[in-house]
Structure 1
Amino acid sequence: LTEPHCGTDLGLLRTKAEPLPDGSYKITGNKIFISAGEHDFTANIVHLVLARLPDAPKGSKGISLFVVPKFMVNADGSLGERNPVFCTALEHKMGIHGNATCAISLDGAVGTMVGEPNKGLAAMFVMMNAARLGVGNQSLGLTEVAFQNALAYAKDRLQMRSLSGKKAKDKEADPIIVHPDVRKMLLTARAYADGGRALQVFCALLLDKAHHHPDEKVRKESDELVALLTPIVKAFITDNGFAATNACMQVFGGHGYIKEWGMEQFVRDARINLIYEGTNTVQSLDLLGRKVLGDQGAVLKKLGKLIGQLVQEEGVNEQMAEFINPIAILGEQMTKFTTEIGFKGFQNPDEVGAAAVDYLRVAGHLVFGYMFARMAQVALRQIAAGSQDPFYTAKLQTARFYFAKLFPEIYSLMRTARAGSKVLMETDAVLA
């Protein structure tokens, strides 16, 4: 997709595809940021390339998709002549150093069209949406591994005494896990990992239903919910992952900033996830502008219905009150919040751009809150049935931390979202 002058705005794409007599195409242009664009792990590399036909309309409606192999493939499946698609440079990145990210030159490389002419962007987004779910999973993995390392270190590292009195009386200092703020950093990572994992599993179940459920209505609604949740998976989990890896690096103190412990690598590797496969601002604009306001909140209401069913089911259960009440209140506020931003955006589209990032995080907390409430529901039922598995106790403790310390972010986010675009756009003196 990406070219030196053209990242998110694919309408500016310049790579050209010229028809050949045999029905294939000669493709010429330059691409950048191509992950694993060149390597020797496989005998062949097959590129999916966006390019323009000679008579293509301008903008994003004039883009076609092509398969371009490194080596041409003969009729019997054997590899043929080298196709002129070459790596011209490697990008020197902040992180993910194990993946060669390449600048690619196509010098009349032979390609085969995928799908219909000028419909390449729609075809590419099938892959792109899967990649966005994958990027969320990438950050989830980094959150989990950073948490596990930080937890082990916090149990072992001795520094100072507990504020409430000595805990390790046989040692010269207490392990840092006794300090409240160290626990806050660890629990932040644990909560973001647990919430992200639950959301990813939920999306996987929806995808199975979208593809395989016998009821067409269930397939359609599942597909709609996945589409709504995809920008939340990509942006919310990756924002949280970067915050979590930073917090876990902080647990290590000065040792976290040097390479030998490996924590700084998790931070560097997590940072790219906020950028690629569509920056998190793009995800926010997609969620608010296209997925919510684009259909007058129809699919958002379906999500709200799911949450409402849980609220109705557990609303009179005192043990569930601390988990149910926050999402019930936010669920009620969400309609007014969305309508207000939509009305302001109708008058001035910049209002949507100004509110979108904050809006996505509010939506992310609503979804995470629903996930934690469901996890708490299961944990309470298992404990009531006699289970002594600490797994369920840990779920309850994590859920309590999440609702007490992380979920309340929604109130500042709704306030800043409502602050509007004026304080951003009428700033020429500052940004002169």
Structure 2
Amino acid sequence: MGEVSRGARALVICPDIRGQSYELDAQSRLEEAKGLALAIGIVIAEAFVLPVRQVKPNLLFGSGQVDNIRIQCEQEEAELVVVDGSLTPIQQRNLEDKLARKVIDRTGLILEIFGERAATAEGRLQVELAHLDYQQSRLVRSWTHLERQRGGFGFLGGPGETQIEADRRMIRQRMSQLRKELEQVRKTRALHRARRGRAPWPVIALVGYTNAGKSTLFNGLTGSDVMAEDLLFATLDPTMRAIELPGVEKAILSDTVGFISDLPTQLVAAFRATLEEVTGADVIVHVRDMANPDAAAQKQQVLQILTDLEVIDAESGVSEIPILEAWNKIDALAEERRAELVEIASHDDKTVPISAMTGEGVEHLLQRIDALLTQDSRTYAIELAAGDGMRSAWLHQHGQVIEEQSIDRDEGPVRQLSVRLTPKEFGRFSAL
């Protein structure tokens, strides 16, 4: 059985297992599976939901169903079968034998996407760790990349891939090394966050379900060219850019990886550091795709991950970091639904209808972010020595100077300023 490359024709199968509870209905899960397959350049020959009355430990599907899948593969000239579910190593191997084709499950598919999308050294470390964790029980692909530079991750093939058995000990050693390197990355990121905490600029984190439009909004706000295709998982590494707001001279906007339902546990652990950027934010903007029929279920997934990251308190459901919902893609809604959302949002200062694509509502979103960042502002009376140009310039740059006057004192002239600052900014000023 040869390697399968991008452009491979595939059958996408969504098992609907009797008695198993799912966040989304079968058709929505199938659509998401198709989106995942398209994101890695797979050509979908056929996609369907397959009811499973009873899980077969050796194949997942019944033998008759497997025969039908093989026939469909032949009819559709499909060289790959994507199963939108979790396959055990034995099920995967047996299905490959029975179908005489490559078979990958949901975790393998997401890992393949992550392997292609990860752009930074940290992203690559995280992907490789998750990949090894997933593959160590399977040992069905080459691990020559552990000894030399390789061209890609190993499900759909790439330069340097040959089919040889891996040495478990080598995999464990490599995983141990990766964990140490990732721990160092986390410490470095924590230091960066601490440094930003001392810096005068607040951080705004964009979060949301994958493909909700975060990167499109990010590009529109920053004039950046971060990858923003209509693909699931278009962004994996947090990207940061500076933006200006009416009452804040400078803020840092952070674009994060998209969330997804049933993210395999190996990936949750491996990508924790990427999502940790959110925990250091001053404001979180939850970008929602309101044109998606599963928008409500997707929102719950995002809130659950924010709870797992301890951004939202598990007991009270309250977040210490203000969360603003950007109701995106209103340009894709029917007029009646759009008017309904605009009406709801007009009575809720935590929601803003927008279209990241057309720019509609984005100015209002920026005003709301600005209001959240400056809501704790108060006026401070500050007295400076006449020659203290550095601290005076800082106040003019980072605060709103309402009044300023010079006064002659016995010990010399001083400047009295009335300045509007947030407590955080005042704390930074006091440390100067």
TM-score (structure 1 length as normaliser): 0.29
Indicate the structure with greater helix content: 1
Indicate the structure with greater strand content: 2
TM-score (structure 2 length as normaliser): 0.29
